[in-house]
Chain A
Amino acid sequence: DAGVIQSPRHEVTEMGQEVTLRCKPISGHDYLFWYRQTMMRGLELLIYFNNNVPIDDSGMPEDRFSAKMPNASFSTLKIQPSEPRDSAVYFCASSFSDNEQFFGPGTRLTVL
């Protein structure tokens, strides 16, 4: 298996633009997680899905952030409109119910 796949690896955009981050979990995994990593706040869980259903989105910072999982092999994290303080590395992770999460390589987002 190729592991968790994230795209793009790097994204540079201007404030106010819409940003969409993509994630393909490991085949057969039933949990998918989105994290944000910054120097100031470290690693933060934003939202997670179980069997494509959002279970806990309490970590989503505000309404500008939304996440979807239309099927078991794809998820998106959208920021609209983006702001400079959203600049961070966003990680996607997946697991098969045993709590061992496998992380993707991350998307480094820069909002100018």
Chain B
Amino acid sequence: AQSVTQPDIHITVSEGASLELRCNYSYGATPYLFWYVQSPGQGLQLLLKYFSGDTLVQGIKGFEAEFKRSQSSFNLRKPSVHWSDAAEYFCAVDINNDMRFGAGTRLTVKP
């Protein structure tokens, strides 16, 4: 079955530490890949997307993600986390406008 998996439900990091959020997908072809962030009570904001080309994608707020076809992964990274990054992060894949979201990873940032 086609699916998007975010293995980590909740991650806590210290401010200034590096961050990696994992995402794996299970599809026959390479889908379009996205990372969204959702702050409490807010809608989803697009951080970055991958359609084709360079497998390392730069996004807003200092985030980047790397597409690894061999691992069917699209992990999100940030070298130094800020307190304002605390939020819920969703990985998503889109095949022919069928957008599927992962269950989300909640990020807590310790002072």
Tell me, yes or no, whether B97 is within 8 Å of chain A by CB.
yes
* Total of A-B residue pairs, C-beta within 8 Å: 41
B97 contacts A31, C-beta separation under 8 Å: yes
Given A42-B104, A43-B90, A101–B43 Cβ distance below 8 Å? Answer: no
Contact A103 B103 (CB under 8 A): no
Per a CB cutoff under 8 Å, which of A48, A56, A100 touches B46?
Answer: A100
What is the number of residues of chain A that contact chain B, defined by CB distance less than 8 Å?
A: 20
Q: Which chain B residues in 22-57 approach chain A with CB under 8 Å? A: 32, 34, 36, 42-46, 49, 51
Contact A105 B43 (CB under 8 A): yes
Chain B contributes a number of interface residues (CB within 8 A of A) equal to 20
Across the interface, do A99 and B43 meet the contact criterion of CB distance under 8 Å? Answer: no
Q: How far is the CA of A101 from the CA of B93 in the complex (A)?
A: 12
User: Which of B36, B97, B100, B104 contacts A56 (CB under 8 A)?
Assistant: B97
**A residues within 8 A CB of B97?**
31, 48, 50, 55-56, 99
Known: A99-B49, A99-B51. 18 other contacts (CB 8 A): A4-B43, A31-B97, A42-B103, A42-B104, A43-B104, A45-B98, A48-B97, A56-B97, A91-B43, A91-B44, A99-B97, A100-B34, A102-B46, A103-B36, A103-B44, A105-B42, A105-B43, A106-B43
What are 30 A-B pairs at a CB distance below 8 A?
Answer: A4-B43, A31-B97, A33-B99, A42-B104, A43-B90, A43-B101, A45-B98, A45-B99, A45-B100, A48-B97, A50-B97, A56-B97, A56-B98, A91-B43, A93-B44, A99-B49, A99-B51, A100-B34, A100-B46, A100-B49, A101-B46, A101-B99, A102-B46, A103-B36, A103-B44, A103-B45, A104-B43, A105-B42, A105-B43, A106-B42
